[in-house]
Structure 1
Amino acid sequence: MIEKQPAIPHRYQKKASRFRTFIVCSVTAGLVLIGGLFLLNYDDSQQTDMPTVLNQIRSGNVSTATLINAERRIEITTMDKKHFHSYWSKVGDQGSELADELNKAMPPDGYTVVVPKR
């Protein structure tokens, strides 16, 4: 013979479904935020060595450039819209040498030097 189980009161079922809905919405929102952060931080530039960057500058193939002194980094965009970046060494004053090369080359869209604030 089958015994009947007492039914769970209706008020407890509503709380369980609301809690489940809250958890599903929270997890979904978290995944969307994490995915968005990964997409926003996407860096499409390719790392290369400094001689390659200098050759691009000297050949007039650079449309725009950014020198970031705090990171010792140069970011360039070529005429065919490819993005490259490179780091210069701590030895010497390569940052000002790069700025001099960019002054000589005069990229069509100019260049920017980012100096850290103290």
Structure 2
Amino acid sequence: MTEKRIVVGHGRVRKSSRARTLVVCAVIAGVALVCGLFLLNRDDFRQVDPSTVLNQVRSGRVFTAKIIDAERRIEIITVDKKRFHAYWSEAEDRSSDLVDELTKARLPGGYSVEVPISHR
């Protein structure tokens, strides 16, 4: 005697299982992407020479600037939202010259100087 089994909705179960798997994989990929973007410190500033930064400041094209004294680095954002940074060597102390230039330029967004705090 042969037994007959009736299977109802078998195709639907397989499709919903695949859809669920795809959704879970997409969510995991999205979470991994977001975590990766937060963990990787992306630098949107394009590196240029310090003279290029000074020319931008003197020509009035800079909206805001930040001098990071510990890194000997200046970051600028131009009025057209372009971002640049430049480094100067330890031998040439440009921070005071840069502050003078930024003060003269009267940037619309202002400027800031980050100076490291010495711990005694």
TM-score of the aligned structures, taking structure 1 as reference length? 0.69
1:42 is displaced (CA, Å) by: 1.6
Partner in structure 1 of residue 36 of structure 2: 34
> Which residue matches 2:58?
58
C-alpha displacement of 1:79: 0.5
Partner-residue secondary structure (3-state), 1:93: coil
- Equivalent position of 2:82 in the other structure: 82
User: Does residue 101 of structure 2 align to residue 101 of structure 1?
Assistant: yes
Cα distance in 1 for partners of 2:45, 2:56 equals: 15
Aligned residues: 91
Instruction: Please give the alpha-carbon distance, in whole angstroms, between the structure 2 residues aligned to 1:67 and 1:44.
Output: 16
Task: Provide the rounded CA distance (Å) in 2 between the counterparts of 1:49 and 1:103.
Answer: 20
**Tell me, which stretches of 5 or more residues in structure 1 are unaligned?**
1-23
Which residue identity does 2:115 align to in structure 1?
A: V
Counterparts of 2:81 and 2:92 in 1: how far apart (Å)? Answer: 30
Q: Does 1:115 align with 2:115?
A: yes
Q: Percent identity?
A: 56
Q: Provide, for residues 84-106 of structure 1, a one-character-per-residue CA deviation record: whole Å limited to 9, x for no partner.
A: 00001112321100000001111
Q: Structure 2: state its 5+ residue gaps.
A: 1-23
Q: Structure 2 vs 1, CA of residues 37 and 112 (structure 1 numbering), >3 Å: closer, same or farther?
A: same
Report the CA distance between 1:36 and its aligned residue.
Answer: 3.5
**How far off is 1:35 after superposition?**
4.5
How far apart in 2 are the matches of 1:35 and 1:69?
A: 27
> What's the secondary structure of 1:102's corresponding residue?
helix
Q: Which amino acid aligns with 1:101?
A: E
CA distance, structure 2, for counterparts of residue 61 and residue 42 of structure 1? 24
